[in-house]
Structure formats: structure tokens, C-alpha cells
Amino acid sequence: MNDPLRIPFSACPLCDSQTLVQEATADCSRHPLYKQPLSPVMNWNHCTACGHVFTEGYFTPEGAALVFSSTNTSQKLGQDLERQRMLAARMVEKVLPYVSDGTWLDVGFGNGALLFTAQEYGFTPVGADLRTENVTQLKALGISAILKNSNWKRPAPSSA
């Protein structure tokens, strides 16, 4: 990999195995949100130990800022809300037999339909997303929202 906007994984991000094989390569230059200088080629690895398939690297802060500087129409807050609300209600209703109140966290909330619907069912919604615009708009509606970039560090594997 020679992509200055990605940091290569040295091992499987789930199990730390280093037994990785290349799974696929694709040209993403025709994706509606593709922008230069992002690499037009994406490669995926397959971990032979746990079966996880993942891109060969994660974005640098600069790369993530470029990727998440625009939004697919379907991911804009409130997009197609009435139809999305019906789909989200089916998800919330699957959870209700187990939990019927408390905080509902949606990581990557996109159009927000799941959060809005969970709130209607009595949950306290909290959203996390990579897009500044979505987070700002959700906060403006009075819902807790966290801007999370991809520059996080996963916890070190437990030694226990």
C-alpha cells in the first residue's frame, strides 16, 4: 500500500492475527463522493484466523476529513424521514422485548431516523457520526450528538 491518506493495519483489527491475505481490489474513483487525492484503488484483506474482512488501512485525519466532507443524499439528516421511520420502527420493536427504556446509541446515525424513532418509543437518543454537518444539525434539534473521527485507538488486547 502506498497511500499517504491511509495508515496500514499491521494485523487484524479484531483479533491481532497477522495471517492476512488480500481479499479484493476495487476502483472507487466513480463513487459519487470520491475526491482526489484519495487513492482511487481500495484493497481489502481477509483474516484467516477470525474471518474478518477489512480495508488494508484506515484513514489519516486528513483522509477522513476529505472522505466525510460531503454526504450521500440518503445520509442527510431527516432524509426520507417518514419512510425511514417505518423501517426504524421495525428495528426498535425488535429491541423492546429486551430493553424498553434508557439510552439509545446509534453509531453512524446518518439520516437520524433510528434516533428519532427510538425517541418516540421513549428512549433517550444519542448519536455519533463522522460528519460534522450531521452532528451539528442533530444537536440543533436538541439530541445529544458526538463527532467521532476515524483517528481513534482501539483498546489494547487484554492480557488476562
**Positions in the binding site for Zn ion (CB under 5 A):** 12, 14-15, 17, 47, 49-50, 52
Choose between 9 and 34: whose C-beta lies nearer to Zn ion: 9
Secondary element (H or E) of residue 113? helix 113-120
The span from the CA of 24 to the CA of 53, in Å, is 10
Rounded to a whole number of angstroms, the minimum distance from the CB of residue 144 to Zn ion is: 33
Tell me whether residue 7 or residue 141 sits nearer to Zn ion (CB atom).
Answer: 7
Looking at beta carbons only, is 20 or 135 nearer to Zn ion? 20
Residue 8: asked if its preceding bond is cis (omega within 30°), the reply is: no
What element of type H or E holds 42? strand 41-47
Residue number, 30 or 154, with CB nearest to Zn ion: 154
Minimum Å distance from CB 56 to Zn ion?
Answer: 14
Provide, rounded to whole angstroms, the least separation between the CB of residue 46 and Zn ion.
9
Cα 79 to Cα 76: distance, rounded to the nearest angstrom: 5
